[in-house]
Structure 1
Amino acid sequence: MLFIKKEGKREPKGRAELRELITQISVLFISLRQVNRVILQEEDRVKSETENAKIPVDHTTLQLHNLMYEKNHYLKAIKACKDFKSKYPDIELVPEEEFFRDAPEELKGDPLLKEDPHKRMLHRLNFELFQRKELCKQREELEQRKKNLQETIANRKKFISSLPSHLKALKKASLPVQQQLGILHTKRTKQHQLAELLPAPLYILYSQLLAQKEAFEEPIDLEIVGSTKDAQSFARQQANKDTGASTGIEESKLDDDVPEEEDDSQRRRKRPKKVQIKENVDATGFYQVHPLSVSVHVYDDELTSGTKPSKLVTLKFEYLLKLHVVCVGVDGVQGGSENNFLINLFPDDTGIELPHQIAKLSSGVNFVYDEKRAQRPFKWVQHLAGIDFLPEAPPFLADNISGIDEAAKGASTLAGLNIYRQQHRVQTILERIRARKKSQLALK
């Protein structure tokens, strides 16, 4: 058509060709439209088929994603379970034999336990839990019992703490009954407590006299007199001295009589007489006595029916700390004729001469026992107090030196001393004291 128009063919033949070409173009265009419509329909069909095929693919893809998610979840859970540190490996479970023997029937009755280790472990853990619950119940019961016992102990402690006051009131209330019945238990207990503070010689003397009284119903009464506080203080000082914790305590006590009011000039002026002053001071310190002493009330052993025994004399026994001797005298008498009946109670025993070498060496060569003191260190008192000693010279040597008269005197002395060296020393001494006192009273 373009070529025809360019050529300018306007004849009827050209026009016929154009019309024929237009018809062909229209037919071709219609065919093109038809083909296009078929293509579009085919495209719609393919799209529809594609959409229909996409639905199961999407569903399958979704299922795949879900499965992958679940797979990852399970893998994490498995890893967490593998990494989890349980407490049961640290639990000391009972052995399987004990589990099957002691566990309740509901825990061990499953027949599959022996084949399934996991299930067996669970049941063992349940059995452990069951045991621990039982132990918790027992613990609660024991705690309650402990609380009750503590309350009971507290009540008893409270009662015990108040018991001394009740006992003291009971003792005080029982004193009239004891006096009426003649059973002075309270006084005896106090005397026994004081006896523990006595020095060893006085304690031996007290125990022997008390044993003689209780064994043979000897008509005597014993009493420990003195300051209890001073005796306790002295006992503590002696204990400290024995352990080496305190030195010079006894010396300071014995030197209390040393004059301290002199100044230095007076001491310098009296320097030539220093030894004499020291001897005088020591002489006063030698008579320092223990804070406690023993008083013995001696009664007449000749009893008449219906009358109480009369008191003959009260003897007071003291212990001299420096000389380590026991002295005796009539209680309440400062000297004089009241003490004369004790002199030579046994032959050659006047009480003026120190009885053993220890006292003589401690006192010094120039020491002379004061005859004005009421208490004297008789030899028989030392034997009674357990202080035994050897004579200064053997008897045969004294006999050869003194001659025939002295030998006879020595034999008499030994015969007299043999009396109180026998087993019944206390009885022999008390008999002699009663005999001497009765003779003295008869002379008066």
Structure 2
Amino acid sequence: MSTGINVKTTKKPNLDKMDTNEKFYNIEDRIAMALTHEKLYEQSMEQYGVLREVLENYINGQKIEMNMITNIAKVRRLARLSHYATSQLRKESAEKLEIVDAKLLQLQNTTSELQHVRKEIDRCLDYSAGDEDIDLVPVEEFYKTASETISKPEETKNNEHKQYLARLQFEAEQRKEMQSTLHELEGRRNVLLSDIHKKEQRIESVIPNINELLKTTQPLQETLAVQFEDVDKVHEQRKLAVQLPPSLSLLYSHSLAYSEIMQDKSFSVKINKSEILEKEEPEGKRSKNENVLDRIERSANRIFENHPLNVEFEIGCGSQNVLVTFYHLSELQVLTAKWDLSSFKSSSQVLCAENLMTDLFENDDGVKCPNSTGNIKMQHLKLNFNEISKKLGRPYNFAQVLGGFLSADTETHLTESVRKLVLAIRNRVETRIQLDEVLKSIETKKSEILEIPKTSEFKMISFAPIEYEKFMTGISESFSSKISTISSGFYYKADFENSDKSKKLTVWIVIPPNYPQSSAILGFTVNFDEFDSKGLEESTIDLDLKSQLLNVALFKV
């Protein structure tokens, strides 16, 4: 029975006799390499079609009359050839890929070398021999001053490069000559320094002998009224004087002139090293991102920075001495003055108060900064001199005059200003001592009887200083406005009463800092039938009563 299947047969190629397995596999390899994947695909699909048709006929119940073993063997052979061809292609692809990787690596190496070469080229182009910054002599001067062995005009005038090299050579020769001259001068300087050092050593060895001689002759000096200062101290003061800022230097020089001209043995001036009131910032603390508050705080810390040197006056006032120290505030460009009465060994309020030099001269309380620029800075930073008054004092106007910051009277020399200051301080201290004695005498007279006309007898029951705040709350508004012009002063309260304690009188006393140039001011508070008002004006008090009170208080009007 015919199946109707036409099997296409291909003509077998002429092949060599395959008498060995090796020859068989070689022929198979050649066939696999000769066939492309497209041909293998076509032949495989052809064989698969035959097998599919046979299987369909078998399923339909038809009998298979042809042998399919050959077709199956062909399919297996085609599959084997396909796998072999694929493996060969993979092998070739791997070999090609290795070649590509090698070429890529070579390309990367070449690119890296190219970049390195370019960097070297750029480095060579950027190379500086150092001659660009040399200020060579002009060409005309070069040909005039340089020798012909260096300038070689016949070669260099028409060749710019050779001309430049010749100018460099001329510059090198000149520098060698200067170097030799420098070595010669340094040698001379070293010889002079050695000579100076030897002389300084000789002087230093002589100074102790001079000091010893001065100590030995001290009795003779006292007998002849001739005093010699310690040589070491004088030498040290001269060293420090060179380092003073201009303001303190001017003050120091005129103070020495006053001491020598006036022959004031109770006055001396010296230079001291002072404590710098500056808060040092740790290294690296200041940041680029520093905000406004940080800058303001740093400015506030630096505003009261003072020079490390100060000038000190020692002024004799009777048996005691007053120390007045002048400081230079670099940021504010002012001089401050601070006094010290520690030698008085007194706890009295009038001798220990900070207002000793307040209004020493007219309208000079040292509250505001005399420098307008510095005053604006302090107002901006909301600072005042109360913060440093105990350490550095206040910027009084007389200090600015002595330091050259303010002009004195046209007819007044600065040395005369020093004399006036010393005299004013002595008068102020003497006045304060007298005032202290007066206040003590008032306290001892508490038991004395005060006769008031047309009334019964009064006596003082208390007299004591009072704080400013309590003082202001106890007086009337009119009396408060009357004493408002006093920037600082001493405040006292005195209480009086009669024998049966039915009548009381309180005296409020304000002593200005420039007393007795300005008189003490008294206010009264009465509590009895003749005066039924509390906090009366001073003018309403009976004149005899006022006179009696003032006599007891020992104050002038």
TM-score after normalising by structure 2: 0.35
Q: Which one has a bigger Cα radius of gyration?
A: 1
TM-score after normalising by structure 1: 0.43
Task: Tell me which protein shows more helix as a share of its residues.
Answer: 1
Task: Tell me which protein shows more strand as a share of its residues.
Answer: 2
